[in-house]
Homo-oligomer: A and B are copies of this chain.
Amino acid sequence: MSRSASESAVITTARRAREAAAALAPLPRTARDAALEAIADALEARSAEIVEANAQDIARARQAGTPDAIVDRLTLTEQRVSAIAADVRDVVALPDPVGEVVRGSTLPNGLELRQVRVPLGVVGIIYEARPNVTVDAASLCLKAGNAVLLRGSSSAYASNTALVAVLRDAVVAAGLPADAVQLVPGESRESVHELMGARGLVDVLIPRGGASLIKTVVEQSTVPVIETGTGNCHVYIDESADLGMAVDILVNSKAQRPSVCNAAETVLVHAGIADRFLPRALAALTEAGVKVHGDEAWQKAGSSAGVEVAPATDEDWATEYLSYDIAAAVVPGLDEAAAHIRRWTSGHTEAIVTRDTAAARRFVSLMDSTAVMVNASTRFTDGSQFGYGAEIGISTQKLHARGPMGLPELTSTTYIVTGDGHIRE
C-alpha cells in the first residue's frame, strides 16, 4: 500500500512501525539488548522530566474526582521510575526467543528443515491507566524483535508521551529506528478503531484492561487479537478435601488480592462435606472481609452462623466481582461442579482441593480453562510465578497463546529449508 494524502495519523504511525519492524527483524540479540540497556539508563537519567509530566495527569485526575486508588496506580515517583528501569534490565537478562529452533530434522531427501522463532512484526497494545505498562510492553516487544504501537489511556497521556519520548531517544542512541516504539496519536476512541482496522500493517493487537474494552476489540478488530484477562475463576472443594487446606486456599484465592484476574469469584462445595465445611468457610471469609452470595445451603449456613449471606442469582455465577464478594454453591458431586464451571467460566483458572487422586485427574480432564490448580491457590496463574519473567498479559483464548504470555508468545515461527538444488518429482 502506498501512502495517500487522506491517510490518518494512526495509519501513518502503523506504516512507520511496519518499516521499523522490517529493520529490527534481522538484528541480533546484542543490538536489541543494547537498546534496552539504553532505555533503562535513560529512564533513570530523565526521571525528573517523567515525574513532572506525570504530575499533569495526576492533577487532571484529581480535578475529575478520580478515586484515590486509581490516582495511586497512575502516580509515578522517581523511585517508581527506578523500579521500572530495573524491570527493563530484568528483561535484558531473559533468554532471547528470536532464532530459537523449535523443530528441525533432515528429510529423507536430504533437505534440512528448521522451524525457527521470528518476531511477530508490529504489536499493538491497548491498555488502561498504569503508565508502567508503557515501558513493560515496549521492552518485551523490543526484546522479541517487534515494533510496538502503544495506545494507553487518555488519563495517562502526558506520562505516556514523556515516557515514549525517552524510550525513542534511547532506541535511536542505540542505533535502532525510533519508530520501533510509538505512541498511537489521539486520545479518542476513534484511534482504537483505526488500529483495529489496520490489518496488514499491524500483526496483532493485545487489549489489556476492562471487559468492555476487550469485548469491543475482539468483536470488531480485523487485525488478529489476543484476548486477555477476564477471570471468573472457581474453587471446587471436593468431598475428600483437607478442610483446613480448603479454607486456606479459598481465602487466599479470593482475598489475597481481589482486584486481579486470577482471584476466585465462585466457590463450589461437595454436598458430602457441606455441613462441616460451610461454617468454617463462612467464618474465614467473614474474617477476611468477604461477602458471600450463596445458594440455599449457604444461606441456611449463614443463618445458623449469624452471617449475612445474600441470595445468589445467575448474575452472581456470571460475575467477575474483582472485589470482596464471592458466589457460593453446594453441588451434589464433582461432575456437577465441573458442569457449573464449564457453563459459567471465562476460561481463566479453576482450582480443586482434594485428597483423592482420581478426583484430581477427573476434574482436570473436565476443565476447559487456561490453568487448573490442584491443591493450590488460583492466584498462581501469573508469568512471574511461573518463572517466565515479565508477562505482557494472560491470554484466555485458545489460539497462539493460552495463559501467561512471555517472550516466546511475542514471536511467530518461519521454516528455513536448505537443499542443494532439490526439486519435487
Contacts and interface: CB of A to CB of B under 8 A. Distances in A.
A403 to B, nearest CB: 5
A381 to B, nearest CB: 7
Contacts of A416: 364, 371-372, 374
B424 A412 contact: no
A36 interface: no
A342 interface: yes
Interface in A368-425: 368-377, 379-381, 385-387, 397-400, 402-403, 412-424
Given A226-B399, A399-B399, A424-B379, A372 B415 contact: yes
A245 interface: yes
A163 interface: no
A86 interface: no
Contacts of A252: 423-424
A31 interface: no
Interface string A192-228: 0000000100011000000000000011001010100
A414 B386 CA distance: 13
A60 to B, nearest CB: 35
Contacts of A253: 423
A11 to B, nearest CB: 17
B403 A415 contact: yes
Nearest to A411: B398
Contacts of A310: none
A366 interface: yes
Given A365-B25, A366-B26, A374 B417 contact: yes
Interface stretch (A107-115, A283-291, A293-301): A107-115
B402 A412 contact: yes
Contacts of A381: 415, 417
A367 interface: yes
A248 B26 contact: no
Interface in A93-148: 105, 107-108, 111, 113, 115, 118, 120-121
A375 B242 contact: no
Contacts of A423: 248-249, 252-253, 256, 376-377, 379
